[in-house]
Structure 1
């Protein structure tokens, strides 16, 4: 069956969703895989994604994390005795996920869309596009994460052309803010920024662990997720179980979340806020967002996967696209057509001392058993 694939590579999780072709229309996106955002490159350059897929006792020095947001940094990432560029590792992760989904579905996707932070300009996108081509994924659509979240929202509610909205994505280690405007064909990023306390999700886990005296941070992460729905949870600590209620949890994390959402006050003229990211599951987040900005606050039903589902929606071939076109959306005549080498990054690459490294190519043997070589 024909389908398209959307991939979101976050700092803590990698999620993938597909849209299947059903006759003359497309079905709603379906999340097919969620992994911990860990990339492992074995000595024979075999690639694996996610801790659950790794054998016990593998070398931690061969594991990479947070590689996507390192794109644009000239300093490479060392795994074992080899050096890789961040974009090569990102392309390897995207290729591994694509091959895994292909193996399950039986055929490759018609299109792949991969998300990236909203502040990226032509430089970073060009690096990633070249790496994806080298890794065997030419024509991959590159999509700002907030636009993907907004496209996912469109499945549930119409957004009128000309409407502006703020998308706030609260992930495990980054809080991204973007102002979007709805154009006839798609959304457009007209402003973006980051929160002054970027590690919202991880910081909440640490606060909860310190509060109850837990040594296992993973149990606190699970408790945080359960408290988004349950009135109370018990957390294992050495020799005991500690009970935590939702009101107690909210009192603990309120100062942190208030600081994370404070930048929303800059957008007083915007009437709608869309919350996405795993941390947005916490009910207090929506309440504080409404207090910070007097606007309508919407939360995706599954905020942790909103971005990958939106990417899958955008990956569907647009009706107006020419045969073979890899255009992200139908072209809007009033918007300029920027080439990869045009424009500039809002966040310039910091100066680095000269570094001579080799190799920087993607791992040569890649991805899942039976995948492309």
Structure 2
């Protein structure tokens, strides 16, 4: 109230007037208060300046953004071997649609980079994993899930892993002999058809195709020939560990300095490969590579089936006849039940990566069993140990000093098992990098090698 009297002039009721100096101070304080209030109101809706970079404000943040956040413009793809933090060339033209295919032993993965630089996986029956299997039906070659389903009726006309047989000229499916390149081309043609269907464009020349680092000229030529038969002209062949190292440095942004090496541990569904890749100059070189053609994720599925079978035998006192028919089906109905058993075993293996215990139902038997992570890891340890010893041997062969090892990168779907990362760290003393979707790493890394 005395502030109002001061502004109104001398007091009319006999009280003393506010001194002039005090009046000026009061006006300054009032103006500062008003200005601060306006500033606070204006700053409402801005992101918290003290939040860490990249952190979105919380819903209850008192200065959280209230207006819609515009979608960021996609950044240009980085040079796959550029120094960390290097900026892309200014004014670089928008990239044309590009395709990369990781033709795997059990599954094939394909990714498309559109002209807006966005990367999307191709989906086959709602899954990014296309089974590499082929099946002959009256001379017609079925691929993917169609081939897998047809095998339940006539397994003699089925080949689940054509990639394992790339040292052969032909494969007999039933009573028909097929050129191996034609069988590989059938799967690659399925990929090309999906590009046309999903994106409405033709797969352009220069598709990136990955292959094991140990492949020689003959196997690489079969892959190139198959690509041409599928309409994928002038393919760019990229060694799988090189593609993985590119993903590690470019997509993940991990440090891979010149002269340093990355150990790539690739445990897929059908095979295991391990390599040492060094960044040298402007490229990536494979210093050493090895693998195990008889070990993959399917062997860990078999461990779950064995654990379940032990429980069945413990309950019945001897081998249950119905269980034996699941293991060695005699007709189409039993083959369908056997496929369900193996699908459940794979799902149980994946669940044990997250849970201490999981249930496995036995189709046709009306029995439910349980498998613990402890049981599974005890059975899996000898198999994982083989992969660890192979990785250690490759690292020794590459003769890379410990201070020149930039990291250990785990790719392939079977690396979701925590046991793999644990045993690798225990024996190699290198902290591994593990991803949520290790199946797409090689294909996405290969995209960055397309000119």
State the TM bucket, normalised to the shorter chain. Answer: 0.7 to 0.9
Q: Matches of 2:142 and 2:366 in 1, distance apart?
A: 39
1:261 aligned partner:
388
After superposition, the C-alpha distances for 1:306-353 in whole angstroms (9 at most, x for unaligned) are 2222223333x3xxxxxxxxxxxxxxxxxxxxxxxxxxxxxxxxxxxx
Higher strand content, 1 or 2: 1
The structure number with the bigger radius of gyration is 2
Structure 1 residues 47 and 248: alpha-carbon distance in aligned structure 2, compared to 1, 3 A threshold = closer
Q: How far off its partner does 1:46 sit?
A: 5.2
Q: How far off its partner does 1:149 sit?
A: 1.8
1:94 aligned partner:
188
Conserved 8 A contact 1:29-1:312? no
Q: How far off its partner does 1:222 sit?
A: 0.8
- Helix, strand or coil for the counterpart of 2:129? strand
Conserved 8 A contact 1:40-1:49? no
Q: Matches of 2:420 and 2:102 in 1, distance apart?
A: 22
Matched, 1:106 2:233: no
1:188 aligned partner:
285
Q: Matches of 1:202 and 1:307 in 2, distance apart?
A: 20
Among candidates 11, 15, 27, match of residue 118 of structure 2: 27
TM-score, reference length from structure 2: 0.63
Among candidates 234, 242, 249, match of residue 376 of structure 2: 249
Conserved 8 A contact 1:174-1:198? yes
Higher helix content, 1 or 2: 2
Conserved 8 A contact 1:9-1:115? yes
Unaligned runs of 5+ in 2: 1-94, 313-325, 327-340
Q: How far off its partner does 1:8 sit?
A: 1.6
Structure 1 residues 95 and 183: alpha-carbon distance in aligned structure 2, compared to 1, 3 A threshold = farther
Q: Matches of 2:257 and 2:196 in 1, distance apart?
A: 36
Q: How far off its partner does 1:117 sit?
A: 1.5
Matched, 1:224 2:349: yes
Q: Matches of 1:131 and 1:10 in 2, distance apart?
A: 14
Conserved 8 A contact 2:156-2:173? yes
After superposition, the C-alpha distances for 1:135-176 in whole angstroms (9 at most, x for unaligned) are 432211222111222222220124222221211111122111
- Helix, strand or coil for the counterpart of 1:21? coil
Structure 1 residues 282 and 53: alpha-carbon distance in aligned structure 2, compared to 1, 3 A threshold = closer
1:234 aligned partner:
359
- Superposed CA RMSD: 2.5
- Helix, strand or coil for the counterpart of 1:263? helix
Conserved 8 A contact 2:131-2:143? no
Q: How far off its partner does 1:52 sit?
A: 7.3
TM-score, reference length from structure 1: 0.75
Q: Matches of 1:262 and 1:194 in 2, distance apart?
A: 11
- Helix, strand or coil for the counterpart of 1:307? helix
Structure 1 residues 45 and 151: alpha-carbon distance in aligned structure 2, compared to 1, 3 A threshold = same
- Which aligned pairs between 1:1-373 and structure 2 lie closer than 5 A? 2-22=96-116, 26-28=117-119, 30=121, 32=123, 33-45=128-140, 47-51=142-146, 59-74=154-169, 76-110=170-204, 111-154=206-249, 155-158=251-254, 159-195=256-292, 198-213=294-309, 215=326, 216-237=341-362, 238-266=365-393, 267=395, 269=401, 271=405, 272-315=407-450, 317=451
